[in-house]
Amino acid sequence: MDIFRLLSVPLTGAVVLAPAGTEAQTVDSTALNNAAIEWVTLLRDQQFDSAATRVDPAAAAQLGAAQLEVIWRSVDGQLGRMESLAAGPVTEARGYHVVDLKGTFAKGAVTVRVTFDAQTRVSGLFFLPRTEAAWRPPAYADEAAFREVEVTVGKAPWQLPGTLTLPVGEGPFPAVVLVHGSGPNDRNESIGPNRPFQDLAWGLATHGIAVLRYDKRTKVYGARMSADITLDEEVIDDAVAALSLVRDRPEIDPRRVVVVGHSLGAMLAPEIARRDGRVAGIVMLAAPARRFTEVLRGQLEYGASLTPDDAAARSATDSILALIDAYEAGELPDTVAILGARPPYLAALDALDPAATLRSLPVPLFLLQGGRDYQSTMADFALWQKRLAGRSETLLRAYPDLNHLFAPGEGTATPTEYMTVPNHVATQVVDDVADWIRALAPRDPS
């Protein structure tokens, strides 16, 4: 779980959607772009009261002046000062206008998404990774060794598009379902020029293992999701549906289906496995072991340390830390979010005990940790070693030179690295996961 991906969740969810049958309206893309740029510029110039007057009343609780100040200070602390804002594409979503501005900040480029209602009042604000940089397949992926088919995960009204990567040859094959980290990730878990889930899918398929990856519900239906979203709605329900979909495919051996979670998805993988009841194994990539607010505090302080002379960044950090203090003291209202996450959501995370769940599951586990990771750190890895000591069929392995995306480099990773440096999941990780899955004993799926 990382700050940037938390900033990528809908910062408002109290959007009252038009009925499904609403007809599309004539769109003036230039006017909407101008309105979006003007509004975001108010945020940059710290004119939060003026910005709040342009907000849809249905979203005022999440995008009032005080909330906008916290949001913008968070963005300013994470990405640095906004340097430019350019017009972008305009789309329609169930009666709402969605404007994707091209934002350039001191520490990287992002998409600043502003949604408007029919009266051109702001109803949503998102910060999303820009994915314009070219992605090239990793050297370990043999594209002649697999094929891909499009699938649909789940049922209406939350159907999700996905891709099933199938090895060439005679099956049935072992298979994995990839479960995302925080934020509205696409099926590749794209961030900047990096696509770690596509790396894993193509790498594992080259080893003869099928892989299902899919767009996250908050990616596909972000404008429809409530601000009171639960972990079930965000992650667990869709992951369980994906496991069932894979298991029912004729190309797949239903006795050898594995859940592979990354970051938040790794933290939730034990619960997903418990709900499913039939997985043959669990792989946890960069799983936090500490309470969420402790993880977040560490990320904030680390981010601030990268620019020690930046007073604005320090102020932004202190503003978020004050919200965390209020939450931990039980004084933060349920309507106030910390980087997009409200107190009930945070409480649900804090109530998780994945180690206890793992101890109750007779399922093989492989937990991997990167030594350069500043989100889930080696401190988390040490806690996992302690909490899982004595558990049977458990493998824990650290990779000193890898970051949160399991890509190689030197020194502790930074947010800018993820956004700007093209890289791939390390060959060793792909090989180790493939070897571990192939060695699993089949599990009766009944």
Provide the annotated active-site residues. Answer: 263, 373, 404
Beta partners for residue 147, in sequence order: 166
- The one-character DSSP state at 327 is H
Q: How is the chain split among helix, strand and coil, in percent rounded to 5?
A: 40, 20, 40
Contact present, 357 and 350 (Cβ < 8 Å): no
Strands, E, within 195-306: which ranges? Answer: 210-214, 252-262, 281-285
Biggest CA pair distance of the chain: 64
Strands, E, within 7-158: which ranges? Answer: 82-86, 90-93, 96-105, 108-116, 122-129, 146-153
- How far is CA 46 from each of CA 49, 103, 303, 310, 319, rounded to the nearest angstrom? 9, 17, 22, 17, 15
Residue 151's CB is within 10 A of a number of other CB atoms, namely 17
Contact present, 2 and 263 (Cβ < 8 Å): yes
Two structure tokens written together for 446 = 């009944």
Among candidates 365, 436, 21, which has minimal Cα distance to 207? Answer: 436
